[in-house]
Amino acid sequence: MVSVGNTEDDLGKMEACDLVIEAVLERLDVKQSLFERLEKICKPGTIVASNTSGLRIHDMVQGRGESFRKNFLVMHFFNPVRYMKLLELVAGPETDPAAMERVRRFGEDVLGKGIVFGKDTPNFIGNRIGVHAMMSTIHMMLEEGLSPEDVDNITGVPMGHPKSASFRTADMVGLDTFVHVASNCYASLPNDEERAVFEVPAFIKTMTERKILGDKTKGGFYKKAGKDVATFDPQTLDYRAKGGDEAIAKLTKSISKIEDPRERVKKLVTDESKAGKFAWRVIARSLAYSARRLGEITDDPKAVDDAMKWGYNWELGPFETWDALGFVETLDRMKKDGIALPAWVETMKEKGATGFYRDGAAWDFQKNEYVGRKVDPRYATLTVLRKGAAVLKNDGAEAWDLGDGVLGLTFKTKANSLDPDVINLLGQSVERAERDFRAMVIANEGDHFSVGANLFLVAMAAGNKEWEQLRAMVKGLHTNMQKVKYSTVPVVAAPYGMTLGGGLEVCLPCAGVQAAAETYAGLVEVGVGLIPGGAGTLNMLWRALESIPEGVAANVLEYVTNVFKNIALAKVATSAVEAKAFGYFRWNDGVSFERGRQLTEAKARAIGLAEAGYHPPTPRTYVLPGDSGIATMSMMVDTLVAGGYASEHDAKIARKLAVVLNGGPGGASREITEQEILDLECEAFVSLCGEPKTQERMQYMLMNNKPLRN
């Protein structure tokens, strides 16, 4: 629980805290004053941490007692803290190692952060390397006469960096923040051989003086100009229509399609065009600077790589990029270009090193040898856990033995969508798990757990009026979802990212869920003119009503209405916790704050259910609101249409949904079986596929990747 307070009225509450993190104004006198007050309030052993990125620990603890200094350190989070994995921990000269270990465990195990240990130097690891890379890119852009659009085309996905690349990232962060960090480096690094790189160019100073600060001021390097986007021109100091070199745009777009980031960046820097040469200059300078910083900002090359991946969303860190380009080839090319490198890199080559990483070990530049790294078993990937060959496989999915009696099912389709192959293997995997395993886990790879059913196949069948094929597809989904629900061994789903439509329907019948904290779940079929077709209506009712004992006379209208609203309004939960509140997951389902541990935690949950004597649920019947519920929900829909919040087609979809959820017109007069609800869902789904406006919605979504309101 988070409660709000202020430093004037509520500072006394810190007396009960074991850890206090300050994030006040980045001014030494303000921080010193706060620490003086905290020292008088906090109990012995309380750890006080600063979220500073630019001030030295030695300066911040001036005047504080021995106990305070022993329990003081830096915890530098990256913004936005909810989404950014990086947490830099920095100890002062007197920090107790036990205090550092306590904070490491808290940051890693409770907050789910990726920890890197830095040294007490200005801007630590992430911002030192990241801002250097950004500033050197800007200076090179000015030297070579490129535009911001050219630079972003080069330094984004082709380079293994986020789509926001350089200037769009600066707009999101805020130019004032970016300038502050760069200026701090320039002021506090008088002995840095590349200090001049951190000097802010005149055109950016002009932007900050004019309060052109990025997204926070609705304009930065880019801004909306009606339906178009305008670019701030460094030469004219004014906005112009967005443009850029067409040859650069064409090349970088092509390279962006290469899936492996290692191959992508290699293709980019070996290209002889203007884009390739610029990319090489940018990357080579960053790699060399990172190598020269080892020993100063950290002793571990992996800490640099992790900081850039977790704090700047790079796909590859500097040393991983170097390895991808070829260690010796890149070294020789940099030497040929006259780029200064530390002596230990030459020593690596002399000793026959083939890269900074090899066979689970990393090069130790102080020992001049490879040193093995401890591997935390909690971060095991599917590749590590899989035993032998695939137990089952087809073009859409694979099932593997994950060890300890657990079968793991993984989708392989684009965006992990559900197609007939995935649906078939889902059922086959449950049958195999019941026969040869004690539990099953559904765990996918890629950016998202599943974006739902393969809409192209549905649209094609609807366009060709293949109603029986559609009906068979829905019934196949129903059959296999019910196999999951009534499996004699526990099935646990591990959703993350987008878990939409059919993706969520896969989770609903599972015995348990181990969701990543950042899971965006919802039944969004109305956006394409449909209702759920994978037993989503049934299992949402089941989830909503499972706390009501069978046979108990209860007014279930409010429960059913809530399910209706969630589906009809396509409500998407913005976190795993919110998904519980919406009824998409159970309150006792697990949440993994560290995505890297989700697989092993899902496997542990499945084993735990099995060892606790798991028994599947018993099929039940439902007494639903029937006609009165249908009428009530139809009135709600009519109100939305009258107010202009819903179209007539939205209303048609919602009314069909109401019929399903209320058990049909006779739902209140008798007990409704699960099969009857599934039959109602199937009929509503197939009938909607025949609606011209639904077909328009499906086509529009396929072509534009956004919903059509018609």
Output the DSSP codes for 191-237: T-TTGGGGSPPHHHHHHHHTT--BGGGTBSSEEEETTEEEEEETTTT
Domain endpoint, select from 372, 403, 423: 372
CB 564 within 8 A of CB 661: yes
Query: Whose CA is closest to 252, among 139, 136, 163, 141?
Result: 163
224 part of a folded domain: yes
Residues 295 and 397 occupy one common structural domain: no
57 part of a folded domain: yes
**Could you tell me the CATH number of the domain that includes residue 615?**
3.90.226.10
592 part of a folded domain: yes
For 658, the 3-state DSSP assignment is helix
Question: What does the pLDDT average to over 338-351?
Answer: 95
710 part of a folded domain: no
Strand partners for 21? 49
Residues 93 and 205 occupy one common structural domain: no
pLDDT over 90 at 216, yes or no: yes
263 part of a folded domain: yes
Question: What does the pLDDT average to over 292-298?
Answer: 96
Question: What's the pLDDT score for residue 521?
Answer: 98
Strand partners for 491? 440
Residues 411 and 551 occupy one common structural domain: yes
Question: What does the pLDDT average to over 196-214?
Answer: 96
Residues 335 and 386 occupy one common structural domain: no
Residues 103 and 139 occupy one common structural domain: no
Give the count of domains, the chain: 3
Residues 400 and 476 occupy one common structural domain: yes
pLDDT over 80 at 1, yes or no: no
Residues 360 and 399 occupy one common structural domain: no
Question: What's the pLDDT score for residue 77?
Answer: 96
Residues 55 and 176 occupy one common structural domain: no
Instruction: Provide, rounded to the nearest whole percent, the portion of the chain with pLDDT above 70.
Output: 100
Question: What does the pLDDT average to over 316-344?
Answer: 97
Question: What's the pLDDT score for residue 696?
Answer: 96
Question: What's the pLDDT score for residue 125?
Answer: 96
Question: What's the pLDDT score for residue 602?
Answer: 98
Q: Average pLDDT, whole number, for the chain?
A: 95
709 part of a folded domain: no
Residues 110 and 172 occupy one common structural domain: no
Query: Whose CA is closest to 506, among 433, 547, 450?
Result: 450
575 part of a folded domain: yes
Question: What does the pLDDT average to over 213-227?
Answer: 94
**Could you tell me the CATH number of the domain that includes residue 229?**
1.10.1040.50
Question: What's the pLDDT score for residue 552?
Answer: 82
**Could you tell me the CATH number of the domain that includes residue 24?**
3.40.50.720
Residues 605 and 557 occupy one common structural domain: yes
Question: What does the pLDDT average to over 228-238?
Answer: 95
- Active site members: 53, 76, 88, 127
**HEC assignment per residue over 332-377:** HHHHHCCCCCCHHHHHHHHCCCCCCEECCEEEECCCCEEEECCCCH
Determine the length of the chain. Answer: 710
Question: What does the pLDDT average to over 572-600?
Answer: 96
- Could you read off the pLDDT of 492-551 as tens digits, one per residue? 999 999 999 999 999 999 999 999 999 999 999 999 999 999 999 999 999 999 988 877
pLDDT over 90 at 210, yes or no: yes
- Could you read off the pLDDT of 631-683 as tens digits, one per residue? 999 999 999 999 999 999 999 999 999 999 999 998 888 999 999 999 999 99
pLDDT over 80 at 324, yes or no: yes
Domain endpoint, select from 372, 404, 422: 372
Question: What's the pLDDT score for residue 551?
Answer: 77
For 117, the 3-state DSSP assignment is strand
- pLDDT band at residue 54 using 50, 70 and 90 as cut-offs: confident
pTM for the full predicted model: 0.91
Question: What does the pLDDT average to over 77-88?
Answer: 94
Residues 437 and 517 occupy one common structural domain: yes
Q: Which residue segment(s) compose the domain that 40 sits in? A: 11-118
- pLDDT band at residue 360 using 50, 70 and 90 as cut-offs: confident
Domain endpoint, select from 341, 372, 403: 372
Residues 589 and 479 occupy one common structural domain: yes
Q: Are strands 512-516 and 491-493 parallel, antiparallel or unpaired?
A: parallel
Strand partners for 519? 497
Residues with Cβ within 8 Å of 582's Cβ and at least 6 positions away in sequence, in order, are 521, 522, 566, 571, 573
4 part of a folded domain: no
Question: What's the pLDDT score for residue 585?
Answer: 98
